[in-house]
Amino acid sequence: MSSSSKAMTPKNKAPKSAHKTSDGSNSSHTDSNSNFKEPYVNTNTKKLNTSNLTMKPLNKQQRAALASETVTQIKHNCKVDAAKLKKHSDPSALPASTKLAARLNCGFGQQRSVAALNTAFDITAGGYNVFAVGANGLGKRTFITQYLCNKSHKQALLKDWIYCYNFSSPSSPLAIALKPGTATKLASELIHIWQQLTLALRQLDSIQHDKHSQTKDREDLAQQINSTAEQTLAPYFLELFEAYNSNPKLLGYLKLLQQDLISNAQLVLQATDLRFTPTHNQQIPDRYNINIISSVGSKPSSEYDLKQTQHHTPDGAPIIFEPNPSHSNLLGKINQTLQAGCTLSNHMMIQPGALHKANGGFLIIEASHISEYPEAWHGLKLALRTAKLSPVEVSHNTALGDNLLTPEPIPLENKVILLGESELYDQYAEQDGEFLSLFKIRADFHEEVVRSTDNEIEMVAKMADIIAKYKLKHFDSSAQATVLEFLSLLSEDQNKLSLHIDSLIQVMLEADRLATRDNADLVSYLQAKQALKDISYRSSYLKELYLQEITDGQQLISTSGSAIGQINALTIIDYADSEFGMPALLTAVVQHSIGSGDILDIERDVELGGSLHAKGMLIMNSYLRALFSPYHPLNFTASLAFEQSYAHIDGDSATLAEACALLSALAEVPISQALGITGSMNQLGRVQAVGGINSKVSGFFDACSHQGLTGNQGVILPYANISQLMLRDDIIEAVNANQFHIYGVKSLSEALTILADMPVDTTNKKGRYHKASLFGKIIKNLKKWEEQLNPPEELDEPQPADEPASKETKASRRDE
């Protein structure tokens, strides 16, 4: 094995729900000498025939027959029928084509988040911003954008915002609000006024030049220039005053602008002062130009604007997604220029940020992205807290000049929506004292929805929406059913559909590619199934390497025969972007007559085991102590280890396997290597559900297939996981052919009975474990090890060998 392949080591996956237990439990085995009750027997199967136990003592042959019947019936009770290994979608209940699908319900599957969004957007008070919580790939941004595009924003306070020159304080540009959509028009009007003024002044200069050649009299030139400027500007500004008479702040600016143009008309004509001369890319000097910061309905004006996703609500409120929320991209910046060794800036160098463009509407940001920019995060909080936007200089290089601008703040009237996973939300909530006061609404996005007929039809509508967006071929009903079954597999539940939209889109895109290759009009079952196989094949390289190592004997995994103290624990191998199930050899070694029941967790001691794995070990240890200590002191030391495991292991899904391996070693009873096992366990011996169940079953089936199916192989899994099975067709075919078996167990005793092929906890009339049972063998060994450590003193007068046994001794033997 190469060093790189050795990194492909098993890792137990934590159970899907740490508190998940099965329903309808009944006590089946009771130990009268302890509080332990083996809790489960399947109630829908026939009971064991134990009536003859109360009749007369059984001979050895009868006891063996009863033990065999016990094992057979437990196996029968726990065996899972092939019909329960996968839930199929009925194509006849679906539209014949996605072209016939119903219109998509915008809130499908996300009613909780819709309610949260409605609350946030209906309240105008500060702090009612949103943190949308959900796993990556759920389509949170797309969902929220579509939701907003279909929702009227009645509270929208839409305005255009401009920065203009402050004639009384040039370093403090004025921020002026305009009616929606009028900023561009005003800018065009000011350019037109400038052009008319410069044209009139040039004509005046030409006339005066001719007069000068004849009369050489230019004493009244300055007065004529000012008079011409005043006469030229008057009608244009009169129109502006009438058009904007409802905006006092703008009127005040326009009056000052008119006066400044008139008083500086001679400098305008001379065009020697840079303040009154347009730059090479401007039609009007910066002094008289306006900087449009935001304009309702405006189109992207730069290459970066094109990268921002921009939409609008039905009322015209902007919906902006900022892909790179740096400080300048989010809050804007003020550029600078260098002239004569000094840095200069003016109102035209103010560059708006995403908050400016989204003002009056909605700004969507990935929380993980803004967390990379601490200054941007602090700037965003300041803006939300003060409800004001104030751009800052790019750099404060006062050594080169002190021409620093302090623009008038712009009122902030929008909603900010952060997108992130729950871990990131918790991190913000715990580490940032302002977070919860600024983002008062948490919108939780569900990862799955109940798999009902109505919801399957809704999901087909979602597929139709994706088809329209990506211009794909339509899917027939068989392809729809295949995709729905894939979504159920993705959710790890027969009765759920995953809402992981990214995965859905990937399957649909690849199925469409195959349909195009096949010149098919519709995507059918064949293309949908092949797309899923292609995706699985691309991600199975590491899995195939691991299986080859098992076949070559590099990984010591056996899927046949039996052995004492070793078991095939089913694990999830998680390596980069590849995740698959595979068996791992788990061994238990017992040193008798030493210690007091201590169990060494080798993975934990070498710091390869996580806290959940350690918890599972402690639970198992507690179970064993409570089970056997009432009968005899625990006089052994044991150790457990995952063999050929070189990476971190966590999760408690191997607890059941560890308990079975250890009990096998204590009883010195071999257990089957043809069966893989997974399951969490509590202190009462009840088996609990685990995660990754389909991957684990598939992984063990593949390992068995590589070594050859014998008809004895199979998987033992928690009964509670049966409803989560969505197994591959080839596995179901093998189960139908009795080449592979699935057992669902509710208790450790059921699992161990199947593994050891013998009764585990059967008791006599006195409530003591039969010596022939596995637990009885353990108690017998505990006593034997005690005697080996402390042998009994020899009697002075030993009893003759031929002396008949007492009645009491005979009775005790009959009870066995």
- What is the rounded CA–CA span in Å between residue 798 and residue 650? 57
Distances (CA, A) of 220 to 112, 216, 223, 259: 78, 12, 5, 20
**Residue 696 appears among annotated catalytic residues:** yes
Q: In the block, which residue shows the tokens 């859905």? A: 504
What is the helix (H) or strand (E) element at residue 29, kind and residue range?
Answer: strand 29-30
Residue 409 contacts by C-beta under 8 Å, 6 or more apart in sequence?
175, 386, 388, 389, 390
What distance in Å separates the CA atoms of residue 132 and residue 364, rounded to the nearest whole number? 10
Q: Which of 756, 813, 754, 566 is nearest to 79 (CA)?
A: 754
**Which letter does DSSP use for residue 521 in this model?**
S
**Which of 290, 91, 32, 77 lies closest to 184 in space, CA to CA?**
290
418 forms bridges with which residues in the sheet?
A: 131, 365
User: The tokens 């017998």 sit on which residue?
Assistant: 780
Q: Say how far apart CA 488 and CA 500 lie, in whole Å.
A: 11
653 is catalytic: yes
Give one DSSP letter per residue of 155-178, joined into a string: T----EEEEE--SS-TTSPEEEEE
For every residue of 558-578, which 3-state class applies, written as one string?
A: CCCCEECCEEEEEEEEEECCE
Are 488 and 496 in contact, with CB atoms under 8 Å apart? yes
Query: Of the residues 696, 698, 749, 777, which is catalytic?
Result: 696
Please state, in angstroms and rounded to a whole number, the distance separating the CA atoms of residues 747 and 749. 5
How far is residue 509's CA from residue 463's CA, in Å, rounded to a whole number? 11
3-state secondary structure of 411: strand
SS3 content of the chain, % helix, strand, coil (to 5): 45, 15, 40
What is the rounded CA–CA span in Å between residue 441 and residue 419? 12
* Among 774, 740, 755, residue whose Cα is nearest residue 666: 774
- Cα-Cα-Cα-Cα torsion 688, 689, 690, 696, nearest 10 degrees, comes to 110
Burial level of 127, CB count in 10 A (0-12/13-18/19+)? middle
Of 77, 70, 64, 30, the residue nearest 50 (C-alpha): 70
Write down the catalytic residue from 328, 653, 695, 698.
Answer: 653
Radius of gyration of the chain (CA): 40
Query: How far apart are the C-alpha atoms of 206 and 203, rounded to whole Å?
Result: 5
Catalytic machinery residues: 653, 696
